[in-house]
Amino acid sequence: MGVKMKKPEILAPAGNLEKLKIAIRYGADAVYIGGQDYGLRSRAGNFDFDQMQEGIAFAHDRDAKVYVAANMVTHEGDSKGSGEFFRTLRDIGIDAVIVSDPALIAICMSEAPGLPVHLSTQSSATNYKTLEFWKKEGLERVVLAREVNMEEIREIRRKTDVEIEAFIHGAMCISYSGRCVLSNHMSNRDANRGGCAQSCRWKYDLFDMDDVATKHSLIKEGDDPFSMSAVDLAMIRHIPDIVSTGIDSLKIEGRMKSIHYVSTVVNVYRKAIDTYCSDPENYTFDPAWEEELWKTAQRELASGFYYHIPTENEQIFAKPRKIPQYTFAAQVIDYDPSTKMATLQQRNNFGVGEAVEFYGPGLIHHKQVIEAIWDENGNAIDRAPNAMMIVKVKVDHPVDPYYLMRKKR
C-alpha cells in the first residue's frame, strides 16, 4: 500500500462569477479573482463586491477559498481608497489578497488587520531569504517568480515554513516576472498597472538596415513574421516532481480565458494530482491527460524554467506543431433520464451531423454525433446558431448540469 503525499492546493483563475463556479465544480480548491481596482487584468470581467459575496458563499459552501489579486505597481495617487477596499474584502470574507507593491501591503496590514496577504509573482521572489523577509512583514504566502527552478524550490522549502505557491500551467511572460515595459513603449499601456497590450505576442518584420533610408526584410516570402512570444507552461508530465517539493499551492494562469479552458485544465490537474497523492509509488503518467489539455491549448507547451533556462524551443517562431481540435459549443443545464434528453445553452454554432464530446468533473467524457436538435418550443431545427439559445438534444450517455459540450473543428 502506497504512502499518501501531502496534497497541494489547486488554484484556478476566475475572470468572472461563471468561471469561479465552473472552476470549483471541476475541482479547484481555491480561485483567484480581480476586483474593480488595483489588479493587473483591467480587461478581465472582474468582480464588484456583490459578485464577490456570491462567489465567496458558493466557494465556502464547497470548502474552497477565494483570493483577490491586487497586484498592480502603484504610482502616485494609485493607492487612493485602497484601505477601504481591503477592509471591505476582509469584511465580506475574502480568504486572502495577492499583492506586489510594498505600499499596498503596508496599507492592507494597517487598514485591514486580519486579512491574509500573499506576495504576488510580480515581486519576483526567487530565494528563501526573500520569503523570510516577507514573513517578518506578516505575509503568509509567497507566489514564486516564474524563473525559479525545481531545485531552488526544494531548497526554499527546506529553509522556510512560509507557504509557497507556483505556477504550473498557462501563459509565460517573455520578460522577467513583473518587469516588462514593452507594452508601455509600444502602446502607452502600462503592463504593471493592468493595461498590458501583449506587445510580445504581436507579429513583427525584421530588417537589415544599410543606412537610415535603406532596409531589407530578413523574412522570406512564406515565412512566419517574428514574435517574441513564449510558449505556454504545462507541468502535467511532472506532477511527482512538483508535488514532492512540498509546495503548498499550484497555480493555473488565465483569468481572461474561457470556461472551456478553466474546466479542462482544472479537470486534468485534479485527476493527475489526486492519482499521484493517493498512491505515489504506483503512479504512472497518463498521456490522455496531456491530450485533454491540447483540446483547449492555444500555444505549444513546455516546462518553463523548472528544468533549464528556456531556449528557442520554448519560443513561438514558426507554425505551431499542434492545432486545437475542439471548440466549446454548449453547456448542459438539465437532463431528463427518462427521455435521454439534454437541455443545452449554446455557446458556439453547432448543427445536426456534427461530432461532439460531452465532458464533466472527474474527466468523465463521451463522444457522439448530434442526430437531432429541438428549440425551446419543441420545433426541430438543423442548427443552433444563436448565442446563449436554449436547445434540446438526445444524448447517448447520461450527463449532469454544468457538463460542457465541445465540437470538433
Parse the chain into domains and list their residue ranges: 9-172+230-314, 326-408
Q: Which three cell numbers stand for residue 206?
A: 525584421
Distance CA 36, CA 33 (A): 10
Res 2: pLDDT: 47
Contacts by residues 271-278 (CB-CB < 8 Å, ≥ 24 positions apart): 271/27, 271/362, 271/363, 272/236, 272/239, 273/7, 273/8, 273/10, 273/239, 273/243, 274/7, 276/5, 276/239, 276/240, 276/243, 277/4, 277/5, 277/6, 277/7, 277/243, 278/2, 278/4
Please check whether residue 330 is in contact with residue 357, taking contact to mean a CB–CB distance below 8 angstroms. no
Please check whether residue 278 is in contact with residue 2, taking contact to mean a CB–CB distance below 8 angstroms. yes
pLDDT per residue of the chain (409 residues) written in tens, 0 to 9: 444 578 999 999 999 999 999 999 999 999 999 988 776 555 556 899 999 999 999 999 999 999 999 988 888 988 889 999 999 999 999 999 999 999 999 999 999 999 999 999 989 999 999 999 999 999 999 999 999 999 999 999 999 999 999 999 998 888 877 678 888 888 988 776 667 888 888 888 888 887 777 888 888 887 777 788 889 999 999 999 999 999 999 999 998 899 999 999 999 999 999 999 999 999 999 999 999 999 998 788 999 999 999 988 888 766 666 666 789 999 999 999 999 999 999 999 999 999 999 999 999 999 999 999 999 999 999 999 999 999 999 999 999 999 999 998 7
Spatial neighbors of 280 by CB under 8 A, at least 6 apart, are 2, 3, 4, 5, 240, 244
Res 72: pLDDT: 85
Neighbours of 63 (CB within 10 A): 8
Res 322: pLDDT: 63
Res 43: pLDDT: 53
What CATH number was assigned to the domain covering residues 9-172+230-314? 3.20.20.70
Look-up: residue for cell 503525499? 5
Res 99: pLDDT: 96
Distance CA 395, CA 337 (A): 10
Distance CA 36, CA 59 (A): 20
| Alpha helices, DSSP H, located in 26-74 | 49-61
- Please identify, in words, the CATH class of the domain defined by 326-408: mainly beta
Res 287: pLDDT: 97
Res 227: pLDDT: 81
Res 261: pLDDT: 96
Beta-bridge mates of residue 32? 13, 67
Res 323: pLDDT: 67
* Residue 281 one-letter amino acid: E
Distance CA 330, CA 390 (A): 9
Look-up: residue for cell 471541476? 26
Spatial neighbors of 127 by CB under 8 A, at least 6 apart, are 152, 156
